[in-house]
Structure 1
Amino acid sequence: MNSGLCLRVLILVALTVPIRAAQPAPVTFTLTVPDGPTSTLSGSSVSLLCEVSPLFNAEPLEVRWYRSSNFHSPALLYKDHKIQEAPVDPQYRGRVSLTGGLERGNVSLRLERVTQEDRGEYICQVTSDQWYEKASVFLTVNVTGSEPVLSVAEGRGGGGQVNVTCSSVGWSPQPKLTWRNKDGTEIRNGQEVLNTSDPQGLVSVSSWLLYAPSYSNWLSCTVSLSEEAKREGRILPHIYTAPTAVPGVSKEAFIVTLVLLVLFLVIGALCSVILCKRRGSMWSSSQKSRNRSETKNLIEGAENTVPKPTEQMVTGKEVNLAGKVIG
C-alpha cells in the first residue's frame, strides 16, 4: 500500500515539472540584474547575469545582448530557439554564449577571453509576442599593472631625509597605492599621489614620500585593485644616501673639489714622467762622455808602456839599431 502511494507521488511530480517548465510567458514580466558593476580580470571569463521575473520558460522568446550604441549588431542574438550567426558584432564571434537554463528563465551572457575593450555597459533585452523588457549590466575589466619602480633622491631642505618615489603603469580601473614600513604599518603622512590615464584608459600612478633613512628599516610600496590583483616593491633608502658627503659642504663644492684633486694628481703624474725621462737622458749623455774619457786614457796608457823601436835593452847595456853596443 505504501509503495503504491510513493509510486503515484513520483509519477505526479514527473508529470507536473515539465508542465510548469512549459508554461507560456506571462503578459508582462521584468528582468533581474546585479545592482552594481560586474568585475573580472583581463583574459578571464565572466557571466553577465540576467533573469526574467517571474521565472518562466524563456526558450520561445528573443534574447538580445548588445552594447548601448550597437543594437543592430549585438554581441549575441537568440531567436527561433537558437543562437543566430548574424547579425553579430565580429569582435564577439566565438566568445559569447548563454549560460544555460533558458527553461528556468535564466538568460545570462557568458563572455570568454575578456579584453580591455569589453568593458562598459551591456543591455539585456528579452522580447515576447506581447511584451519586451530590457536592463543594463556594467562590466569593469581589471588590468593588473607593472611592478612598482622605487627610487631615492636627496631630500630638499636637509634634515637627513630622502625623497622616495614609487611608480607603476598599466592599471584599470584606478588602483590604490599604499606605503608601509618594515612592521607593515601604513604610512599616511607626508606622501603625495598622482594618477594619469593614457588613450586606452589605463592608469599610471606615482607617489613620493619624505623619509628618514635607516640601515634596518625598509619601505614597501603596494599598488592594488584587490587582494588578488596587486604588485609590491621594496627598498632600503640608506643604500642610496651619499656615503662621501661631508657635513657643512654642499654637493656642488664637493664635486668641484674632487675634480680639482683628480686633475692635480694627473698633472703631477705627467710631470713625474717627464722629469724621469729628462734625468734618464742626462745620465745617458754623462755616461757616454765618461766612457769616452776612460777609453782615451786606456789607449794613452797603453802607448806609454810599449818600448820605442829605436831602443832595446841587452844585458843592461844600450844597443842601437845596428847592433852596436854603446858605451
Structure 2
Amino acid sequence: MTRNNEAAMLLIIIASVLTCSAADFSIVTPNASVSAWLGSSVILPCSLSPPLNARDFEVQWYKKKDSQKTVLLHQEQKVQENDVDDQYRDRVSLIGELDNGNVSLKLDNLKTADRGEYTCFVKSLRWYERGSMNLVVKAIGSTPVLSYQEAGEQLNVSCTSDGWSPKPLLTWRDSTGRELTNTYTKYITDSEGLVDVRSWMLFSPSDSEWISCTVDLNLQGMKESRVVPMKSDLSGGFWFEVFISTLVLSVIVIIIYTILLILHRKGLLPHCSSRKNAKAAADSHESLPGETIPLKATENLHQGVCSTYEPSDSTEQQSWKDRYKASLTLDPSSVRRL
C-alpha cells in the first residue's frame, strides 16, 4: 500500500512538472523601437521563453490603438485569413519557426499608416502572455529648397523640405560650420502622414560667405542645400554698375533713333534731301509751261506765217518736240503794219 501511494505521488509530481513546463512561459520582445524604410519589409520580433512549440497555440498580432483590427491570427495550426483586417491583407505572415517558439511577424510593403505600437499575444490551453513593441516607418524627404528676401539691413532666408518620416531634424550652419540658432522651424503633417518642415532665419551677408540648411533623420538620409545670399546695394557694386551702364546705353540708343526718325520724316537727311530735290526738279520740268515768243514783223516779212522746224527722223522729232516745245504768238500790230 505504501509503495502504491509513493508511486501515485511520483506520478502527480511528474504530471505537475510537465504541466507547469507546458503552461508557464513568457514573451520576449525588443526593448527599443523597430524601424524600417517606407515601402520595405520588416520583422517584428516575438518569441517564447522557454522556446516551447507554439504550433498548437493561439498567436494574435494587433496594434495597441487599433485592438479591433487584427493584424494576424493563428489558430488551429494555421493563419485565419478571413480574420485579418483589410489594411494588412496579403502583407503579413509568420516567419515559420513556431516549433522553436518564434512567433515573429513579417510585414511587407510598409506604409506610413503602419507605424505605431504592435502587440504580440500568445495563448496556450492554460496560459497566455503578451508583449509590445513600437514600429517606426522611415522616409527620406526632398532636398531642401533655399530662398531669401531683404528684411531691412538683413536677409530673411527660408528653407523648405517635404516628405519625411518621422519628424526630421533641421539645422542651419554658416561657412565655418558653426550652428546658427536664431531660427524658427515649423512642422506640418500631410494627409499621408509624412512630415513637411519649414524654417526661417535672419542673416547678415557680411557674417558668412554662405549658409547651409541640413535636414536628416538622426544622421540617416541627410539632405543639405547651400545658398550664397547677396544683399542688393544701390550705392555701388558690380551689378549696380552693370545695370546703370546698360540703362544709359539704352537711353542713348533710343534718343539717337528718335532723332534720325524725325529727320527722316522731315527730309533733312542728306540722301533723302538729294532724292527729294531731284524728284522736285523733274516734276517742275514736266509742269513748265511753253514759252511765248512774239515774232517781229521784220523777222517774218517774207513768210507771213509761224512755223517750227521739224527734224526728218521721227524719233528725234518726238524727242526734239518734247525738249524744245514752244508756243508762238503773232504780234497783231506788226501784221497791221504790213
Q: TM-score scaled to structure 2, two decimals? A: 0.67
SS across alignment from 1:222? strand
SS in 2 for 1:103: helix
Q: Rg bigger for which structure?
A: 2
Residue 201 of structure 1 aligns with an amino acid whose one-letter code is: G
Q: Does 1:82 align with 2:82?
A: no
Per-residue CA deviations over 1:107-152 (Å, capped at 9, x if unaligned) read 1111111001111121110000001111222111112222211112
2:48 aligns with 52
- In the superposition, relative to structure 1, how do residues 319 and 272 fare at CA in structure 2: closer, same or farther (>3 Å)? closer
Match of 2:265 in 1: 277
Pair 1:222 & 2:214 matched: yes
Identity %: 38
CA contact (8 A) 2:65 2:117 kept: no
Corresponding position of 1:233: 225
Name the residue aligned to 1:17. none
CA drift at 1:163: 2.3
Q: Give the structure 1 partner of residue 235 of structure 2.
A: 246
Q: Residue type of the partner of 1:207? A: S
> Residues of 1 paired with 2:146 and 2:187: CA distance?
16
Structure 1 unaligned segments of length 5 or more: list them. Answer: 1-21, 248-257, 313-317, 323-327
- 1: CA distance between counterparts of 2:185 and 2:192? 21
Q: CA deviation at 1:296?
A: 6.5
Q: Give the C-alpha shift of residue 68 in structure 1.
A: 2.6
Question: Once structures 1 and 2 are overlaid, which stretch shifts more, 192-201 or 100-109?
Answer: 192-201
Counterpart CA distance in 1 for 2:214 and 2:131 is 37
Choose the corresponding residue for 2:152, options 137, 151, 157: 157
User: TM-score, with normalisation over the residues of structure 1?
Assistant: 0.69
Query: Which amino acid counterpart does residue 169 of structure 1 have in structure 2?
Result: D
Matched residue, 2:193 = 201
Q: What are the Cα deviations for residues 166-185 of structure 1, in whole angstroms up to 9, with x where unaligned?
A: 111222211001223345x1
Which residue of 19, 22, 26 corresponds with 1:26? Answer: 22
Query: Quick check: 2:172–2:181 contact (8 Å CA) kept in 1?
Result: no
Q: CA RMSD in A?
A: 4.1
**Which letter does structure 2 place at the counterpart of 1:94?**
D
**Counterpart code for 2:107:** L
- Which residue does the alignment assign to 2:182? 190
- Contact conserved, 1:119 with 1:139, CA < 8 A, in 2? yes
- When structure 1 is superposed on structure 2, of 279-288 and 81-90 the one drifting more is 279-288
Q: Which amino acid counterpart does residue 156 of structure 2 have in structure 1? A: N
